[in-house]
Amino acid sequence: MTGTIIKGIGGFYYVYAEDGEIYSCKAKGGFRRQKITPLVGDEVEFTPLHGEEITGGLDEILPRKNSLIRPAIANVDVILVVFAAKTPDPDFNLLDRFLLRMESEGVECIIVVNKSDLASQEELDLFKEELKGSNYRVIFSSTKTKLGQDEILDAIKDKRAAVAGPSGVGKSSLINNICPENKMETGELSEKIARGKHTTRHAELLPVMDNTFIFDTPGFSSADIPMVEKEELRDLYPEYVKLEPGCRFSLCLHENEPDCAIKDAVSEGAISQGRHQRYIGFLTEVKNRSKY
């Protein structure tokens, strides 16, 4: 039979199968010998085992669309990158780092600005300004008032979505809202440091509606710049890619080169000045890293 791994705990993989049942499966020894680890989100073939329990044995992992390392999940269609409009205040350097990582994985990103009900219009407009020209979809939401919930559901319809973002921005509450039958423990928000106590310990694929799922994960633990060469960093910026043919030099880094279409767009206000300044900082980071 075929199915999808929706959870993996203690060497057991729970497979949601084509017959609507959930099978508790063990992977064959060949997986270990080949150093293959089944991931939540994997499409698999398995053999049901007869007995009182609904069990089976994993036979094969079907080809993956993609896979992430931290968290270890597979076949992600879209990432909801969740940041708070305030409490905690947005860190756009960290937001760009999340976006760079997702771009390096080739996964579509949608930015969800949660706690929008707590922010002024000026504070909300700051997100549009900092992302100007990038064409990332931005959804303003509130898990308390349900603002943006229908828009989020429409954005992930018929897809497998994962949620990324820093602590305390309401990721667990967002998941609770869009799949209330799978209530998760959200943890108390520490008033002292304004960070959420993340309570998810292993990845799980939760059903939202027909053919629509969301990954609940322990969090995207790394916000490091992807391991790319300095000439490759620019390719992780959608707004740069479409304008680069206008640069004089084909390997323009958009730093100090003359006749740079990206710098011109920044000067004209078509691309965010703040985001470009952060790019220059990341470029320096990548250059310094290559020295060691």
Q: Say what the pLDDT of residue 290 is.
A: 67
Separation of alpha carbons 24 and 7, rounded Å:
10
Separation of alpha carbons 38 and 198, rounded Å:
24
Total length of the chain: 292
Q: Say what the pLDDT of residue 71 is.
A: 85
Angle, in degrees to the nearest 10, between helices 92-105 and 273-289: 70
C-beta of residue 127 within 8 angstroms of C-beta of residue 113:
yes
Residue type, 280: I
Bridge partners, residue 55, by sequence: 24, 49
Bridge partners, residue 214, by sequence: 161, 206
Instruction: Please tell me the pTM assigned to this model.
Output: 0.85
The residue ranges of the chain whose pLDDT is under 70 are: 52, 180-201, 219-222, 290-292
Q: Say what the pLDDT of residue 210 is.
A: 84
Q: Say what the pLDDT of residue 42 is.
A: 95
Q: Say what the pLDDT of residue 196 is.
A: 41
Q: Say what the pLDDT of residue 10 is.
A: 82
Q: Say what the pLDDT of residue 190 is.
A: 31
Separation of alpha carbons 217 and 180, rounded Å:
17
In which region does residue 281 sit, left (phi positive, over 0), alpha (psi from -120 to 50) or beta (all else)? alpha
Q: Say what the pLDDT of residue 221 is.
A: 57
* The pair of three-digit structure tokens given for residue 110, joined into one six-digit string: 């949608």
Strands 12-17 and 22-27: antiparallel
Q: Say what the pLDDT of residue 132 is.
A: 93
Cα Rg of the chain, angstroms: 21
